[in-house]
Amino acid sequence: MFGYVAEFSSASELYHAAEKVRDAGFKKWDVHTPYPVHGIDHAMGLGKSWLSAVVLCGGVLGSFTALALQFFTQVALYPTVVQNKPTNLFTLPAFFPVTFELTILFSAFATLFGLLVFIQLPRWNHPLFESKLFKKFSDDGFILVIESRDPRFKRDKTRSFLEEIGADEIEAVVV
């Protein structure tokens, strides 16, 4: 069994349900909505994402790559005099545009690839695609999913808990 998929009637219902699931101490669960719901991260008790740290590393790496590349080639190995500009530390302004661009590029790469690692993509399939109920999230369904690998997950208790917090329909996803 992968877990339970539960549908709620509105964003507001889902928001309150998320607060209750959070307070019940579940960790391996998620919500899916047709549009972004403000404050849902707070209701789910999500902490700060580590992605920004990865992006920072990417950006810093980009800056240093660009500066190193330019300093080694244009100043150290083969000093290139353009328009009587100095070939030492004071050439720095000339290197800024490239540094700026590489910082952006490396940050963007770090964002993309970091995200892919964090969300474990690409993958061929996902158990949730077996669920009919889950498909409604991209139309008009407000979906909450609790996975069975959560330590607090109990086949009967979790089902009744979901009913208790106001789920309209519950589907067990079995793979």
Partner 1 sequence: MAGLKNADDYANGERFKGAGIFGVLSLGVGVVATVVFFLVVILNRETVVDLGGGHTEAVSVTKCLAFSWLFAVVFFLSIAVGGMFWTMLHHATNSGWGTLVRRLMENLGIMIPVLLFLSLPLVLKQVGFRDVLWEWFKDRAAAEVVAEEKAEEKKGVYIAEIRGKAEAVKSEIAEVEKIKAAGGDITPGVARFYDDQIEELTEKSKVLSAHAEMEDEALVEELKGKEFQKVNALLYAKRSYLEENFWLLRFVLYAVVLGGGMYLLRSTSLKQDKTGDPRLFTRMQTMSCLILLPFAVAWTFLVFDWLMALDYSWFSTMWGVYLFAGAALNSMGVLVLILSALRRAGYLTDVITKEHYHMMGKLMHAFVIFWAYIAFSQFFLIWYANITEETKFFLTRNTGFWNVYTIMFLVIGHFFIPFIVLLIRYHKTTTWIICSVAVWNLFMHFFDIYWIVIAERAPSLVAGEVTHIPKMWMFDLLAFVGVGGIFIFALLKALGSASLFPCRDPRLDESLNLTN
- For the bound state, the minimum distance from the C-beta of residue 84 to partner 1, rounded and expressed in Å, comes to 7
- For the bound state, the minimum distance from the C-beta of residue 39 to partner 1, rounded and expressed in Å, comes to 5
- For the bound state, the minimum distance from the C-beta of residue 107 to partner 1, rounded and expressed in Å, comes to 12
Contacts 24+ apart (CB under 8 A), 87-96: 95/66, 95/67, 95/70, 95/71
Considering the complex, state which of residue 12 and residue 160 has its C-beta at the smaller distance from partner 1.
12
**Which positions lie near partner 1, rule CB under 8 A?**
12, 15-16, 19, 38-39, 42-43, 48, 56, 83-85, 93-94, 96-97
Residue 144 in 3-state DSSP?
Answer: strand
CA 138 to chain centre: 18
CA 28 to chain centre: 15
Q: How far apart are CA 98 and CA 69, in angstroms?
A: 10
Query: Token pair for residue 11?
Result: 């964003």
Query: Token pair for residue 68?
Result: 């190193």
Q: How far apart are CA 172 and CA 159, in angstroms?
A: 9
Considering the complex, state which of residue 38 and residue 132 has its C-beta at the smaller distance from partner 1.
38
- For the bound state, the minimum distance from the C-beta of residue 169 to partner 1, rounded and expressed in Å, comes to 23
Considering the complex, state which of residue 92 and residue 172 has its C-beta at the smaller distance from partner 1.
92
- For the bound state, the minimum distance from the C-beta of residue 114 to partner 1, rounded and expressed in Å, comes to 17
Beta bridge partners of 171: 5
